[in-house]
Amino acid sequence: MKKVISLVAFVLLAAACSSPKYTYHFDQHDYNSGARAKLAQTAPPHQNEMPAPIAVEELSASTEVTPQTKSIQPQLKSVQTKINALSKEQRAELKRELKAELKKIAKNKNSIDRIDSSEKANEWDYDLKMAAIFGAIGVVLTALGGVNSVFWILGAIALVVGVIFLIKWLARQ
Who wins on pLDDT, 19 or 78? 78
H-only helix segments in the chain? 2-17, 33-42, 45-48, 73-85, 88-122, 126-143, 149-172
Whether the Cβ atoms of residue 151 and residue 144 lie closer than 8 Å to each other: yes
Asked whether residue 149 carries a pLDDT value surpassing 70, the answer given is yes
With 90 as the cut, is the pLDDT of residue 91 above it? no
Residue, of 130 and 105, whose pLDDT is higher: 130
**What's the whole-model pTM score?**
0.34
**Residue 157 scores a pLDDT above 90:** yes
The amino acid sitting at 27 is D
* Residue 39 DSSP label: H
* pLDDT over 90 (residue 132): yes
For residues 140 and 105, give the distance between their C-alpha atoms in angstroms, rounded to a whole number.
52
Residues above pLDDT 70, as percent of the chain: 69
Q: Where are the domains of the chain?
A: 2-41, 84-122, 126-172
Q: How far apart are CA 127 and CA 124, in angstroms?
A: 8
Q: What is the mean pLDDT of residues 33-57?
A: 68
Higher pLDDT, 95 or 114: 95
Contacts of 130 (CB under 8 A, 6+ apart): 162, 165
* Contact indicator for 168, 127 with CB cutoff of 8 Å: yes
127 or 64: which leads in pLDDT: 127
| pLDDT of the residue at 153 | 92
